[in-house]
Structure 1
């Protein structure tokens, strides 16, 4: 399913990297009293800040948006010139469809053209411990997408399913192609599937033909006793081929936005050396494990992966902001965005 995309308008050339709200995990609804890094209460605060630091747009949750708030977001967004992408939860059953449609309408009223979504809020290897558990989840996810598709089609809104440490790239591509809707595609996350032992460029190559939006990130890795540690790191410092990833996404969708998801947090533990990790991967083999462990060993992050648990609240806010700014600077200078 390769949908034709229009030629990129001259006015969209060189749009700077946008910001996914999760890049401000500490600052979003922050309770820390900080004069330097005040918390963001809503999308209006996020848009204002992203305009100030020179970002090209935002991707932010639209849950609970009423029509009057959507109009405020539209006004602020239009004045700033930033793009807007929404993030939305899928309906779990028919009783959720009405609320899902209200959120789609609100997002469209605010000026969003793409809604990113996920099928799983957790991580595959933590949530499920057997193939049956995972297949039951898959059945529910397919129901959710089937409920959502007529709504986004009706309102001509693109729905983009992220590879969210749940689907392997080929699994997600098959789901989207089988659904066969021009309104349902993918949010390509550049780094998530390393947690599922997949090479970032193989993931991007598989999903870029279906991409409506992106989560651009770079990844650092390091060995630990049960497998490897995985962290988002400032762009250009990790192991993802960002230039190739960006160009591949542009090739298939010239108008796609590039949105930064630089989550400043402690490293994630990917416990590939314990049996429980493998419960939902019946077809995996020793070669897959050997390749990822070899890559981890050869590309171990020299500086030490980012950590926040030892920081004060103010220090964490400062660290988060510094990482976002560094990524925007790299994006402009090295990726030609901006």
Structure 2
């Protein structure tokens, strides 16, 4: 099993110009990992269209591909939405980079019902290009959709080129236990986001909060085992989403969990001192804390890598 790293794991580094895509590729190799998952979503201080990749200029893409090949890494792309013209541009970029899997997600926070209804027909428009380049499109359960809703979309598309990005933590935002998410999505899974979460209280509301992998309440051991034993996966990608919190996106019970307090939904103290740094969605620390948080995030990635590599040693001998 190869282990990759998603650029979001170093989002503070990218946002504050402490890392670019070439630095990230080198860092991934130094951590002893096997591949990179490049997020091209717009973020603070990043290219508005190509995110951490930086550009779709052919010369730049050739340099990025050369650097990836230099370290012997695999490469995947993380995109968003199902709008056909945008996806076609992303597929072309993936082809130039040598990526064989593209993650995207259905809901971008709009009208969920409309987004889910439009997704199958939108994606059918890009199937010829996926086939041409032998690239798989993996739809992620991205905070708004239950596992069952994702499976229904994939079945409606009915193509061997379209499957699932199983994010083991995102189902929590729709009140779904991570093990349930993974068990349901495993048969359709092309790629993954492997992470860890706790529930924290922020003011008068509860949120899903990222942690270093192995330090939260997701049963990462069981999730890893399921992915290894019940899929044809050859890669698992670390997405260390901390510091970050996310709000619940659907009503209680829609994913099968009705109350907080047990399992992955046990309420904990925030992993950061709440008197110093209050968790917030799309976390951007104040200027005076950036240097500290840059160091902190790097340490959290190293913890996560150590934990996932240990899981690989346990289940992939």
- TM-score bin (small chain): 0.7 to 0.9
The one of 300, 311, 314 aligned to 1:323: 300
Aligned pairs (5 A) from 1:216-255? 216-223=194-201, 226-255=204-233
1:30 aligns with 2:22: no
Moved more, 252-261 or 106-115: 252-261
Task: Give deviations 1:309-338, integer Å, cap 9, x for gaps.
Answer: 466111111111111011011122244279
Is this contact kept in 1: 2:193–2:239, CA < 8 A? yes
Shift of the 179–320 alpha-carbon distance from structure 1 to 2, 3 Å rule, reads same
1:300 aligns with 2:267: yes
Measured in 1, the distance between the counterparts of 2:258 and 2:23 equals: 43
1:183 aligns with 2:161: yes
Measured in 2, the distance between the counterparts of 1:305 and 1:197 equals: 21
Deviation at 1:266, TM superposition (A): 4.2
Deviation at 1:232, TM superposition (A): 1.3
Is this contact kept in 1: 2:136–2:161, CA < 8 A? yes
2:32 paired residue number: 54
1:7 paired residue number: none
Task: Give deviations 1:256-293, integer Å, cap 9, x for gaps.
Answer: 3111111222433438xxxxx53xx8x849x8423xx2
How large is the RMSD of aligned CA atoms in angstroms?
Answer: 2.8
1:106 aligns with 2:93: yes
Deviation at 1:296, TM superposition (A): 6.9
Deviation at 1:224, TM superposition (A): 5.4
Measured in 2, the distance between the counterparts of 1:146 and 1:319 equals: 43
1:87 aligns with 2:65: no
Measured in 2, the distance between the counterparts of 1:230 and 1:325 equals: 22
Moved more, 252-261 or 323-332: 252-261
Deviation at 1:206, TM superposition (A): 0.6
Deviation at 1:107, TM superposition (A): 1.4
Deviation at 1:226, TM superposition (A): 4.9
Deviation at 1:158, TM superposition (A): 0.5
1:8 paired residue number: none
Structure 2: segments with no counterpart, 5+ residues = 41-49, 273-278
Shift of the 192–79 alpha-carbon distance from structure 1 to 2, 3 Å rule, reads same
Is this contact kept in 2: 1:104–1:152, CA < 8 A? yes
1:70 aligns with 2:71: no
2:19 paired residue number: 39
Is this contact kept in 2: 1:267–1:305, CA < 8 A? no
Structure 1: segments with no counterpart, 5+ residues = 1-12, 32-37, 128-132, 272-276
Measured in 2, the distance between the counterparts of 1:201 and 1:74 equals: 35
Q: Structure 2 length as normaliser, TM-score?
A: 0.81
Measured in 2, the distance between the counterparts of 1:329 and 1:108 equals: 31
Is this contact kept in 2: 1:90–1:145, CA < 8 A? no
Is this contact kept in 2: 1:186–1:211, CA < 8 A? yes
2:258 paired residue number: 289
The one of 95, 100, 103 aligned to 1:116: 103
Is this contact kept in 2: 1:222–1:297, CA < 8 A? no
Deviation at 1:298, TM superposition (A): 7.6
Is this contact kept in 2: 1:220–1:301, CA < 8 A? yes
Shift of the 297–111 alpha-carbon distance from structure 1 to 2, 3 Å rule, reads closer
State the structure with bigger RCO (CA 8 A, min sep 6), 1 or 2: 1
Shift of the 67–253 alpha-carbon distance from structure 1 to 2, 3 Å rule, reads farther
